Amino acid sequence: MARVAARLSDGEQSMHPVDEVLPLPKLALYGFQHVLAFYAGAVIVPIIVGGALGLSTEQLVYLINADLFTCGIASIIQAFGIGRIGARLPLIQGVTFTAVSPMIAIGLGAGGGTAALLVIYGAVITAGIATFAFAWLPPKAFRAVMRLFPPVVTGTVITVLGIVLIPVGLNDAAGGLGSPDFGDPKNFAYAGGTMLFILILMKLGKPFLSSIAILLGLVGGTAVAFLLGDAKFGDVSKADWVGVTTPFHFGVPKFEWFPIVLMLIVMLITMVETTGDTYAVGDIVGKEVDSETVARALRADGAATALGGVLNSFPYVAFAENVGLVRMTKVKSRFVVVAAGVFMIVLGLLPKAAAIVASVPHGVLGGAATVMFAMVALAGIQTLAKVDLKEEKNALVIGVSLAFALLPATVPVFFKEHMNADLSSLLNSGVTLGATAAIVLNLIFNGLGKDDAHHATAAPAVIPGQPAETTAAKGTDADDAAPAAEAAEGEAAEPAPTA
């Protein structure tokens, strides 16, 4: 068994469980379990975005493969580490749900189809490079940004994210916007059956079953639809057995100002999420997390996001779903995540597997997606529970921000017919308006007081089966979250005992 030495304070050499390389059979088993817990969340983002942009099944299959392939590379970078890039903790990287609504808004503003993907990728690459560069800035610059994200802001943003995405899931549950059978009760029957199956699995309380409840729900719902003649797999036979993701497959990215600004906002939110996830997993595995660890995690986010834009994928973040799995399994080795990354790379080279996923009926997908998005909203509510809601200023920040977030869905004509196309691509997003309103209103009512600097925390999106207390991000001190360690600030957050 390979071992990586860690020096204790008394000078002796010892190995931390995080740095332990398990025997190959265990690495494979535990790594594949991470893939199962992660898979549904990974593939749903390209499915939702691709469906909203009107991509063909072949293009959707390519997006899924590109996503999985890049997820594998990004997870290896984060867990194994390259120089000062990567937290070297058991953190899985996945496409952030925060970017779903903004990317759809950007894509629809660009006219949909592959032309929309080029605009999205230009924004993703730019935002990834900016995030990577930001993580090398001095701590004071990082703290200045983190003070914009106290719990009242991050909780509102995550709640808004869930609320905005729930209608996307419901539209799929109805059969998918634009489909001939949209609104057919049969679609809702598939959605309801899938949701019921997922809830039953969660009710059973078995950790492993709960962690893959979404995936099993998709498989079970699709199997029933296939038996009833409503799931078609004709495209699977047409797909190649092996396919390699190539850079800029859909063309040269387009770099447009407003989409870039929107994606930068997305990455600011994901930086807070990754910071919380890094501290949370550090507590779980009993590994001290200092400011340099957080900085390395954010650099991995930035590098993975820029790589995602090159390899036809989307923005990346440390996945909270798998943080919960680490706690449930008590398997602390980061090399398990490296093994999971290898599995994802292999899956990303198998178009037939992606074609099967792309064939999931809309009703089944909508049932699973609605549960997931509802849990995202719950994560935000959990964070808001830490806020003093008796304070009228906080209540106003939350309430008015939610109102702004509902504007694009409530009055879409304002953005479509009475606003410049570029400006509409930026503002026609409930996430963008809600997040911007929360930040601005918090500055107006609460300012940047000292207390805010010590509560920059986010609640990452949770997935059914992951305990709320493990997937909600651990509160972080803004000083510790700075992207570079200062000599006078070398203290790390004291790790809590693991379960």
What is the average pLDDT across 156-181? 78
Beta bridge partners of 322: none
What is the per-residue pLDDT for 144?
Answer: 74
Q: Look-up: residue for tokens 């019921």?
A: 196
Terminal-to-terminal C-alpha distance of the chain: 25
**Average of per-residue pLDDT values in the chain:** 77
**Range picked from 7-16, 39-48, 112-121, 473-482 for highest mean pLDDT:** 112-121
- Where are the strands (E) in 300-394, listed by range? 316-318
DSSP string, 411-456: -HHHHHHSS-HHHHHHHS-HHHHHHHHHHHHHHHHTTT-HHHHT--
The yes-or-no verdict on residue 472 having pLDDT over 70 is: no
The yes-or-no verdict on residue 15 having pLDDT over 70 is: yes
User: Hey, what are 88's tokens?
Assistant: 């070297």
- Name which of 495, 467, 468 is nearest 329 in CA terms: 467
The yes-or-no verdict on residue 253 having pLDDT over 70 is: yes
What is the average pLDDT across 481-494? 38
Confidence of residue 211 (pLDDT cuts 50, 70, 90): low
What is the per-residue pLDDT for 208?
Answer: 64
Give the integer Cα–Cα distance in Å for 449 and 101: 31
Confidence of residue 212 (pLDDT cuts 50, 70, 90): low
User: Hey, what are 295's tokens?
Assistant: 């900085």
What is the average pLDDT across 224-240? 77
Residue 394 three-state SS? helix
Alpha carbon of 56 to those of 231, 236, 431: distances in Å? 17, 14, 27
What is the average pLDDT across 153-182? 78
| Percentage above 90 pLDDT, the chain | 13
Strand-pair category, 93-95 with 316-318: antiparallel
**Range picked from 16-25, 123-132, 187-196, 267-276 for highest mean pLDDT:** 123-132
What is the average pLDDT across 345-365? 80
pTM: 0.67
